[in-house]
Structures are given as structure tokens and as C-alpha cells.
């Protein structure tokens, strides 16, 4: 039996972990791709503000389990931190109504659109701002 050299062991480890790294990249890409596919109703490969707002309103309706016209921390299911909820809640009632939720969707859409072209592609949805918006749309 031959002794295993450090270089052979390193090559084996790199060869073994490389597929794991690429599969995690695919998983990250699929999140943006899933959002794009779900929200891009005109199938042009981008999300515009109208599409984002419509998806946000649908998500709001789905989250409002008690049908009281607002969502609280529990209903938001971790989509917003307490700090972000407070910032998005101008009347400070601890809830977001549909208008406040839609305003937050618009704010996050604009933050995710650094080139200001009015649309978001998969690359922009992969940014931290894009991920923050996506959390409000699913």
C-alpha cells in the first residue's frame, strides 16, 4: 500500500468539494430565478415596478392570515427585522397595512435598481437589496 501524500490528499479534497461549491452557486441563482419567474408576468426576463407591486400585494393578502387588513411581526414570518418594520411603519402601530407594505416594496425595488432603468434582472435580484425585495414578494 502506498502512503498518501499531502498533495494527493489536497487534490482529492478539492475535487470532492468543488461540486459542493458549484451546487451552492446554483442554489443561490435559483432563488433569484424563482423570484423572476414568479413575478415576471410579461415574460421579458425582468421585473418592473408594476409587477413587483402586484406580487407584493398578493403576498400581503396571503400573509394577512386574520384578514384584518394589516400584517404584524408574526404574520411577516421573518421577512422584516424589527428595525425594518419600525422604519416601514409611519403610524407606529406595530403593523403594516397594504399601503405601507406596498410603499416598502417600492422602496426596496428602487434600492435594488442601481442603474435606474426601472427593471430588475436576475443579477440585480441576487444583490442584498434584491434579496430584501424578493423576501417581500414570496
Q: Which CATH number fits domain 30-137: 1.10.238, 2.60.40, 3.30.70, 1.10.3470?
A: 1.10.238
**In whole angstroms, what is the distance from residue 114 CA to residue 63 CA?**
29
* pLDDT surpasses 70 at 68: yes
- Provide the pLDDT for residue 130: 97
Q: What is the pLDDT confidence band of residue 31, given thresholds at 50, 70 and 90?
A: confident
% of the chain residues with pLDDT over 70: 78
pLDDT tens track for 41-67: 999 999 999 999 999 999 999 999 999
Residue 30 confidence (pLDDT): 58
Cα R_g (the chain), whole angstroms: 20
Global pTM value: 0.77
Q: What is the mean pLDDT of residues 85-103?
A: 96
Given a cut of 70, whether residue 9 has pLDDT beyond it is no
Q: In whole angstroms, how far apart are CA 17 and each of 4, 24, 30, 67, 102?
A: 19, 11, 20, 47, 42
Domain limits of the chain? 30-137
Average per-residue pLDDT for the chain: 85
Identify the band that residue 22 occupies on the pLDDT scale cut at 50, 70 and 90: very low
Q: How far lies 27's CA from each of 16, 77, 138, in Å?
A: 18, 22, 16
pLDDT of residue 21: 42
Amino acid at each position: 500500500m502506498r502512503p498518501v501524500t499531502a498533495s494527493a490528499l489536497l487534490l482529492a479534497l478539492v475535487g470532492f468539494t468543488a461540486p459542493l461549491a458549484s451546487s451552492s452557486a446554483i442554489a443561490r441563482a435559483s432563488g433569484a430565478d424563482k423570484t423572476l419567474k414568479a413575478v415576471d408576468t410579461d415574460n421579458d426576463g425582468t421585473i418592473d415596478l408594476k409587477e413587483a407591486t402586484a406580487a407584493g400585494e398578493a403576498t400581503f393578502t396571503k400573509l394577512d392570515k386574520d384578514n384584518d387588513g394589516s400584517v404584524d411581526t408574526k404574520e411577516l414570518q421573518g421577512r422584516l427585522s424589527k428595525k425594518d418594520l419600525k422604519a416601514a411603519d409611519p403610524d407606529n402601530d406595530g403593523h403594516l397595512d397594504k399601503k405601507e407594505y406596498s410603499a416598502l416594496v417600492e422602496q426596496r425595488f428602487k434600492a435594488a435598481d442601481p442603474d435606474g432603468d426601472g427593471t430588475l434582472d436576475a443579477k440585480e435580484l441576487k444583490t442584498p437589496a434584491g434579496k430584501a425585495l424578493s423576501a417581500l414578494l414570496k
